[in-house]
Amino acid sequence: MSLHFSYRHLYYFWVVAKEGGMARAAARLGMAVQTVSAQVRELERALGHALLAPAGRGLALTEAGRAALRQAEQIFLLGEQLPALVRDAADTPSVRLAAGISDGLPKLVVHRLMGPVLDEPRLHLACRQADLDVLLGDLALHRLDVVLADRAPPPNPNLRLYAHRLGGSPVAWYAPPALLAAARRGFPASLARVPVLLPTPQAAVRPRLDHWFERAGLRPRVVGEVGDSALLKTFGAGGLGVFPAAELVEDDLVQRYGVRRVGRCEGVEEHYLAIGSEKKVGHPLVQRLIAARQAVRH
């Protein structure tokens, strides 16, 4: 790889920007002000743009300087993590999997999807749950090996991401014991009479549920919209309302939450994807997840 600038010069610039001036940066670096200034000028010469401009008695970042600072922040954050990563790898031989879990993916489904790798004896699993866009950014920066989601990544010319289908599951309606009889009586028309809980409009499955209601000519008696799937099930099991969930995890729903199936939401499915930054997956555990995708079909 050919580099047209010095990372050491970039580091001096980063310190100047963080400290707010040459003098404070020189003091932090234990160097002469003139030396630091010369190194920053070398970086500007290499990049072909001024990164700092006079502002009163000090310096201010130019537009190019702000862009350079954003990249430098990411570079040196990763650099700070390097010693710990190397030490951990040397001290504890393991197979590390850093997985991002999209907020919209039900937790019971996540456990089922991860099943093929959980019996790896040397597994070191690091999971992060967040909004899908945040996780895709981490994936692009190689902070994650894979992102599990219920939708494909949105088109982005700056990110080369690949979605690998893990499977899917039909959706059904479930009710706590107190609402079961009423919900089953005349289902699905009963959903206009009994209290109903739905995922928020941001959930990937919500438009499919809304379309199902339209096809059936139903106006459900919605008493709540909940973004967190586990919280939706908890509220439903507590008697707040009838709710939709993946049939894939029906046994877990019945055992953990004490609910019962009301009926199938015909034509509505949840989709499960493994999103990676490489078309040909290299990580052995991600390969195992994708290879086992047929096992998650209900």
79-83, 141-145, 157-161, 182-186, range with greatest mean pLDDT: 182-186
Angle, alpha carbons 165-166-171 (nearest 5°):
105
Residue 95 clears pLDDT 60, i.e. is over it? yes
Q: Are 271 and 261 in contact (CB under 8 A)?
A: no
Please give the pLDDT value at position 246: 94
Q: What is the mean pLDDT of residues 50-79?
A: 88
Render pLDDT for 270-293 as a digit per residue (tens, 0 to 9): 999 999 887 667 788 888 888 876
Closest CA to 192 of 205, 200, 183, 201: 183
CATH topology of domain 169-271: D-Maltodextrin-Binding Protein; domain 2 (3.40.190)
Q: Are 247 and 214 spatial neighbours (Cβ–Cβ below 8 Å)?
A: no
Name the residue among 167, 170, 204, 205 with its Cα closest to residue 289: 167
Average pLDDT, the chain: 88
Fold observed for domain 93-167+273-296: D-Maltodextrin-Binding Protein; domain 2 (3.40.190)
**How far apart are alpha carbons 21 and 107 in whole angstroms?**
48
- Using pLDDT thresholds of 50, 70 and 90, give the confidence band for residue 92: low
The owner of tokens 């992102």 is: 147
Hunting for tokens 């549920």 — which residue is that? 209
Say what the pLDDT of residue 34 is: 92
| Pairing outcome for strands 58-61 and 52-55 | antiparallel
Long-range contacts of 279-286 (CB under 8 A, 24+ apart): 279/162, 281/164, 283/97, 283/145, 283/146, 284/95, 285/95, 285/97, 285/117, 285/120, 285/123, 285/145, 286/97, 286/145, 286/146
Give the lowest-confidence range in 20-34, 55-69, 90-104: 90-104
Domain with CATH 3.40.190.10 in the chain: 93-167+273-296, 169-271
What is the average per-residue pLDDT within 223-232?
92
CA 92 to chain centre: 27
Enter the CATH code of domain 7-89: 1.10.10.10
**Predicted local confidence at residue 293, as pLDDT:** 66
Distance, CA of 216 to CA of 37 (rounded, Å)? 71
Place of tokens 């439903």: 236
CA–CA separation, 264 and 39 (whole Å): 67
Question: How do beta strands 162-175 and 260-276 pair?
Answer: antiparallel
Spatial distance between the Cα atoms of 179 and 290, rounded to a whole number of angstroms: 39
C-alpha count within 13 angstroms, C-beta hemisphere, residue 66: 4
Q: What is the mean pLDDT of residues 21-33?
A: 90
- Rounded to whole angstroms, how far apart are CA atoms 58 and 238? 61
Residue 154 has pLDDT above 90, yes or no: no
Banded model confidence at residue 142, pLDDT cuts 50, 70, 90: confident
Looking at the chain, the whole-number percentage of residues with pLDDT higher than 90 is: 49
| Residue predicted with more confidence, 202 or 259 | 259
| Among the listed residues 79, 80, 45, the one whose alpha carbon sits nearest the alpha carbon of residue 64 | 45
List every span in the chain annotated with CATH 1.10.10.10.
7-89
Can you give the pTM of this predicted structure? 0.64
What average pLDDT does the segment 240-257 reach? 94
Alpha-carbon distance of 43 to 240, in angstroms, equals 62
The 3-class secondary structure across 102-116, one letter per residue, is: ECCCCHHHHHHHHHH
